[in-house]
């Protein structure tokens, strides 16, 4: 087998890249080690920046999103007795769209199927070869047989635990990581959200977030200990704790119900430099992780894909490698700005176990400044709606 670009991973990053390449007349094969049902069953966040929305429309996967997505022109931050709405629209002229990542993945899969472009599911990529040569290849196992695909380039969109990053010699990479001493306990429930916009809460008992997937499906989060177990959080206890952390009006509006999904996720910041080696290019979680506080994971992957698709298109159109050679530096310039914002949001809104009284006073001052300063609110808003690609 041979193609122009092998894409490893059929999450939103890999599927979006495949669609953009298809639009540019570039052939690709997507390899996914999991089943289609498994990929579509993954529950992830769904706050989309304007740039991500535009890319999905360009990729031919935006029709349902435009019908069903919820436009949010602001978000609330709660600290103590103070509730501050950050007005994205007034401060930046833009907004975000709430549309679940599972739905994004479904729409991209449907778009690729309409184009009869290949996705090989349950194909475990076993090794990547010759990425520093003109003839790289990916070898994968399918139905007990090992198949090799030759290609011009490889795009590693296979997440933090995938094989793509590990195919780059360790000596060629510099890794940056920060682990956070808490996790997020998330619950998905078929109940209407308590607000038309997201509510971020810094409470003495820990962070909370009220979010949604639709007008009838809500997603709630609580800061929890890293070693907490799901069995220690039956639904009744979750709703009880969430109400404790919400301001009175929001707590009264909360509609509890049986959880349809519950999980605990650790938080980390992680960056790989560079994001390319030879003819292997990393995008999305394969190259970087952000804590979910700023809703940036999917959006950061989308900006990587935008840069990479443009670079591939330029190469096949002009046979010049300028944009390909500059992909990593171009992507990382935005990655680090988004890492900074996500880190800042996390520091401002969570309780850190090792924080002393000085840290607590600084956090209070940070929030007071945000509530009082239109300039600070604009800084948050322009980062939240998305820095330009």
Clarify whether 142 is annotated catalytic.
no
Residues 131, 167: contact at Cβ < 8 Å? yes
* Whole-angstrom distance, CA of residue 1 vs CA of residue 303: 30
Q: How far is CA 183 from CA 166, 234, 306, in A?
A: 26, 17, 30
Clarify whether 292 is annotated catalytic.
yes
**Residue whose C-alpha is closest to residue 26's, from 1, 57, 3:** 3
Clarify whether 384 is annotated catalytic.
yes
Contact partners, residue 170, CB within 8 Å, separation at least 6:
none
What strands, in cross-sheet order, belong to the sheet with 137-142? 124-129, 137-142, 145-150
Question: How many C-alpha atoms does 42 have within 13 Å on its Cβ side?
Answer: 15
**Residue whose C-alpha is closest to residue 11's, from 323, 219, 229, 302:** 302
Catalytic residue among 12, 72, 307, 327: 72
Please state the separation of Cα 127 from the chain's center in Å: 26
Catalytic residue among 203, 288, 296, 350: 296
Catalytic residue among 99, 200, 315, 327: 200
- Interstrand relation of 153-156 and 280-282 (parallel, antiparallel or unpaired): parallel
Catalytic residue among 136, 292, 315, 327: 292
Give one DSSP letter per residue of 39-50, joined into a string: HHH-----EE-H
* Whole-angstrom distance, CA of residue 141 vs CA of residue 135: 20
Axis-axis angle for helices 101-114, 12-23 (nearest 10): 30
Clarify whether 255 is annotated catalytic.
no
**Residue whose C-alpha is closest to residue 318's, from 24, 6, 15, 12:** 24
Clarify whether 274 is annotated catalytic.
no
* Whole-angstrom distance, CA of residue 185 vs CA of residue 191: 18
Catalytic residue among 180, 307, 315, 384: 384
Length of the chain: 389
Q: Please give the positions annotated as active site.
A: 72, 200, 292, 296, 384
């Amino acid at each position: 087998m041979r193609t122009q670009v092998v894409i490893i991973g059929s999450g939103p990053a890999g599927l979006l890249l495949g669609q953009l390449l298809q639009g540019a007349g570039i052939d690709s094969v997507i390899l996914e080690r999991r089943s289609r049902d498994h990929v579509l069953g993954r529950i992830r966040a769904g706050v989309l920046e304007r740039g991500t929305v535009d890319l999905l429309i360009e990729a031919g996967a935006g029709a349902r999103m435009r019908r069903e997505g919820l436009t949010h022109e602001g978000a609330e931050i709660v600290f103590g007795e103070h509730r501050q709405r950050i007005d994205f629209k007034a401060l930046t002229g833009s907004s975000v769209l709430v549309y679940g990542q599972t739905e994004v993945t479904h729409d991209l899969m449907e778009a690729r199927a309409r184009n009869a472009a290949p996705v090989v599911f349950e194909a475990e990529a076993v090794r990547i070869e010759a990425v520093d040569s003109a003839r790289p290849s990916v070898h994968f196992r399918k139905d007990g047989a090992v198949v090799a695909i030759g290609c011009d380039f490889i795009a590693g969109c296979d997440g933090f635990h995938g094989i793509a990053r590990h195919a780059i010699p360790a000596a060629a990479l510099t890794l940056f990581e920060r682990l956070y001493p808490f996790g997020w306990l998330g619950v998905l429930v078929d109940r209407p959200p308590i607000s038309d916009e997201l509510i971020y809460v810094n409470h003495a008992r820990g962070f909370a977030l009220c979010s949604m997937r639709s007008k009838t499906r809500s997603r709630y989060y609580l800061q929890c200990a890293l070693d907490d177990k799901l069995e220690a959080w039956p639904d009744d206890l979750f709703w009880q704790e969430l109400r404790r952390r919400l301001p009175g009006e929001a707590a009264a509006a909360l509609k509890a119900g049986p959880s349809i999904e519950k999980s605990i996720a650790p938080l980390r910041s992680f960056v790989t430099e560079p994001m390319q080696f030879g003819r292997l290019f990393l995008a999305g979680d394969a190259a970087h992780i952000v804590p979910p506080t700023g809703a940036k994971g999917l959006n950061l992957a989308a900006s990587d894909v935008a840069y990479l698709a443009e670079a591939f298109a330029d190469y096949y159109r002009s046979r010049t490698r300028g944009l390909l050679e500059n992909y990593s530096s171009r992507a990382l310039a935005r990655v680090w700005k988004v890492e900074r914002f996500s880190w800042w949001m996390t520091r401002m809104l969570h309780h850190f176990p090792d924080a002393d009284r000085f840290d607590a006073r600084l956090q209070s001052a940070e929030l007071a400044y945000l509530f009082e300063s239109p300039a600070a609110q604009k800084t948050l808003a322009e980062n939240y709606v998305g820095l330009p690609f």
